[in-house]
Structure 1
Amino acid sequence: MLLDGKTVLVTGASAGIGRATAIGAARQGADVAINYLGDPSGALSAVAEIEALGRRAIAIAGDVADEAVAKDFIARATQALGKLDVLVSNAGICPFHSFLDMPAELFERTMRVNLHGAFYMTQAAANQMVAQGHGGAIVAISSISALVGGEFQSHYTPTKAGVHSLMQSAAIALGRHGIRCNSIMPGCVETDINREDLSDPQKRSYMTHRIPLARLGAPEDMVGPILFLSSDLAAYVTGAALLVDGGLFVNLQ
């Protein structure tokens, strides 16, 4: 029970890595608040699964790109569950698009959701943790794309590099308050974001053969590393990034 007695907030938690993390946190003893946008059935079913595990849960809708949503989510979740111990900043989008004709509105929307949203949520959560006075942990979902480029991800990869950099700077700013800030860098994990791209058998086979563990990642593969960084087992880990990619990054040849 790594998170026994803790309260965990997860953004973008109606599906994918966020949902798996929220349910995984409940299995480890946490009460959980989830943020979601556009998938109420997914959010409510996640709440039901968490409650079936004997933990408290609440789902709050909102677009993380809006600063006011971050403040509202943190305030309402804390009021409902009593405190805030861990934030997992997971919400993100990656609408694949070629670089030369990238619409400005698509670039800006991706920036607002992935990077601005992570900043707003981190800032709001940190202020709540400082007010509580007993520290906490913030884990942001970056990506292997923070380290490598992607032909159809020129709007996405800079946001994930930014999320990693945000956690480094926040770790310095918040360490004196006992707040640890780290990032997870998933590799090729099959979620709603990339399911259409991976539906191409040739692309799927190419990616699978590049991964030394010989399979694509699943959202559940991310849960253990995220919960480790959220827990007291990682009490001396801050400003770090954990690559969880089945060995994809090191397989250059």
Structure 2
Amino acid sequence: MGNRLQDKVAFISGGGSGIGAATALRFAEEGAEVFICGRREEPLAAVVEAIRAHGGKAGYVVADVSDEAAFSGAIREAARRGGRLDILVNNAMAYSWGSIADTDTEAWRSNFSTTVDGTFWGTRTALQIFSAQGSGGAIVNLASICGLFGTAWMAGYSAAKAAVINFTRATASEGAAAGIRANVVIPGVVETPATAGMLSDDKTRAGTEKLIPMRRVGTPEELANAILFLASDEASYITGACLSVDGGRAADLITALE
């Protein structure tokens, strides 16, 4: 175990699987007391058990990030149990799939209730806690390569993730004088439960990897390391930044057109 987050208290939404779970484990390895939330208790409990089995400190709160009162209450409960809050990672997301012409209003809005509203509610709550503590803090929001480029059949998700990027910049601007940093990590294709369908067979996987300059998809652990850096004091002079962790996908026009 390291000490890059020693004595810090962190809260991670969507912490039961994928990037959120990997981040919780990585934070705990570096000395943080970690609290995670999600809608299902079983995966949350499994992550917390894994952290504790390795000598780390962790807890969970069952909460739906698209429920304002429940999500804000979960963060406040974590701060109460941990004695403070130093780091917030807004990782939870939701998406719908389909053409714009066939997307109804309910499906459109479903992309925003967790991804955008949840990020706003979580950030607002963290800022209030940081202010009450008289301390700074670090917020890391998860966007997506879909928030950088228009993505067919995922217009709502693309719009929501683009909103997260600019919301984070506004947060960074507001919080900087108080020592509060806000940054964005932008994943490309990462092997998680959410991407299992698009990586389900060799042909589909090969087609996906062909679009990535590094010719492979990312791992949750690789994203967790980027989030750890931005959450740590090593990034003390970084705020409002967007860090792409995508194997070069957003950098290479030619590969993207092959």
Fold conserved (TM > 0.5)?
Answer: yes
In structure 2, what is the equivalent of residue 68 of structure 1? 69
Percent identity among equivalent residues? 37
Aligned twin of 1:80: 81
2: CA distance, partners of 1:215 / 1:224:
18
TM-score (norm 1): 0.96
In the alignment of these two chains, the number of paired residues is 252
What is the CA–CA distance in structure 2 between the aligned matches of 1:192 and 1:100, rounded to whole Å?
A: 28
- Number of the residue aligned with 2:4: 2
Contact 2:130 2:136 in 1 (8 A): yes
Deviation per residue, 1:222-245 (Å, 9 max, x gap): 011100000000000001100000
Q: Does 1:203 align with 2:204?
A: yes
Residue 200 of structure 1, CA deviation: 4.8
After superposition, the CA RMSD in angstroms is 1.2
Indicate conservation of the 8 Å contact 1:89/1:121, yes or no: yes
Q: Show the counterpart of 2:97.
A: 96
Q: Which residue of 1 aligns with 2:15?
A: 13
Say if 2:75 and 2:126, in contact at 8 Å, map to a contact too.
yes
Larger fraction in helix: 2
Task: Give the gaps of 5 or more residues in structure 1.
Answer: none
Local SS of the residue matching 2:168: helix
Residues 130, 137 of structure 2: 8 Å contact kept? yes
Alignment correspondent of 1:59: 60
Counterpart in the other structure of 1:170: 171
Q: How does 1:49-198 map to 2 (within 5 A)?
A: 49-198=50-199
| SS of match in other structure, 1:84 | coil
What letter matches 2:28 in structure 1?
A: A
Secondary structure of 2:34's counterpart equals: strand
CA offsets, 1:74-106, max 9 Å, x none?
211011111100000000022322221012211
1:198 Cα deviation from its structure 2 partner: 2.5
TM-score (norm 2): 0.94
Distance 2:205 2:96 in 1: 18
What CA distance in whole angstroms lies between the structure 2 residues aligned with 1:166 and 1:201? Answer: 37
Q: Check the 8 A contact 2:85/2:130 in 1, yes or no.
A: yes
Paired with 1:89 and 1:162, the residues of 2 have a C-alpha distance of 13
- Matched residues in 1 for 2:247 and 2:9: separation? 30
Q: Distance in 1 between matches of 2:54 and 2:47?
A: 11
- Once residues 252 and 52 of structure 2 are traced to their aligned partners in structure 1, the CA distance between those partners, rounded to angstroms, is 41
SS at match of 1:100: helix
Aligned partner of 2:26 in structure 1 is: 24
Partners of 1:95 and 1:193 within 8 A in 2: no
Q: Distance in 2 between matches of 1:126 and 1:191?
A: 30
Mapping for residues 41-52 of structure 1, pairs under 5 Å: 41-52=42-53
Query: Which runs of no fewer than 5 residues in structure 2 stay unpaired?
Result: none
* Equivalent-residue separation in structure 1 for 2:71 and 2:17 (angstroms): 19
Corresponding letter in the other structure for 1:108: R
Q: State the alpha-carbon separation in 2 of the partners of residues 199 and 251 from structure 1.
A: 25
